[in-house]
Structure 1
């Protein structure tokens, strides 16, 4: 998309915001999509209080961002919920379990 530095920073901030909504606030998919809508409201208009923090994107760029988020975040949302919220077992492997005898390979 050839984003400027300001646009790239804004995009990364938006992505971070949506991931924090998922990981820290445990937002549902629907709630997170609503937050995206609120955040992107006013894009393409004049810079004002109603235009939000992402005023530097035009409408075409906003559509491309939404398409990207749809594919990369919203479609696999259940997977991200699982990764963020499912406890994982800690796996401890001792040094002895990892030791492999390579002597037969060297002498062959």
Structure 2
């Protein structure tokens, strides 16, 4: 046998590399947070609205969601994702992916100042691995076609159609947003009306 690597062995090595590349591409994002003392995603799915918001305040480190518009919007958006995923019968892994996707898109707005077109591209990149078949035999992708369509529709209506609003909330300093909303109200005064309808107005004003 000739020394060195044969053509067949080279082909097998290439196939292994291709498989490893596909497996790497098929890795989808998951929501990572400090679990203790917070609950797992599966447990969060079973919480009622008040319990869920209490847990999310702790996980997201929201200090004043009752008075801060930005924190209130974040709390509402994260809790809405959980509610939507529960209504859609998403598994904990599917829910975790949905929340991680939300977190990624919001961070792209806040930290990277991405425009909507750029963030749509990032959305597509993150969604693609979740729709691919994993390496294991007889296993299905995280999201089937209908799941992916529903998730895309949700983010379209809840985030991308309100993109300018989220840009304002996440990138505008709180002091600037408050001062920009200041308005001047001019008050007009009118003469008092007569106490008695029977008294002529000209006599009353005199």
Once residues 171 and 133 of structure 2 are traced to their aligned partners in structure 1, the CA distance between those partners, rounded to angstroms, is 40
Tell me which residue corresponds to 1:69.
Answer: 155
Contact 1:7–1:57 (CA under 8 A) maintained in structure 2: yes
Contact 2:108–2:119 (CA under 8 A) maintained in structure 1: yes
Contact 1:43–1:59 (CA under 8 A) maintained in structure 2: no
Once residues 174 and 131 of structure 2 are traced to their aligned partners in structure 1, the CA distance between those partners, rounded to angstroms, is 44
Q: Which runs of 5+ in 1 are unaligned?
A: 49-54, 92-108
From 31, 52, 71, the equivalent of 2:118 is 31
Higher deviation after alignment, 21-30 or 37-46: 37-46
For residues 1-108 of structure 1, the aligned pairs below 5 Å read 1-48=88-135, 55-89=141-175
Contact 2:131–2:145 (CA under 8 A) maintained in structure 1: yes
Q: What stretches of structure 1 move > 4 A for 4+ residues in a row? A: none
Q: Secondary structure at the match of 1:60?
A: helix
Once residues 131 and 117 of structure 2 are traced to their aligned partners in structure 1, the CA distance between those partners, rounded to angstroms, is 24
Once residues 25 and 44 of structure 1 are traced to their aligned partners in structure 2, the CA distance between those partners, rounded to angstroms, is 26
Distance 1:5 1:43, change over 3 A: closer
Tell me which residue corresponds to 1:106.
Answer: none
Tell me which residue corresponds to 1:100.
Answer: none
Once residues 87 and 8 of structure 1 are traced to their aligned partners in structure 2, the CA distance between those partners, rounded to angstroms, is 31
Q: How large is the Cα RMSD of the aligned pairs?
A: 1.8
Q: Deviations over 1:48-100 (max 9, x none)?
A: 5xxxxxx4111110110100000000001001111111122298xxxxxxxxx
Q: Secondary structure at the match of 1:89?
A: helix
TM-score by length of 2: 0.39
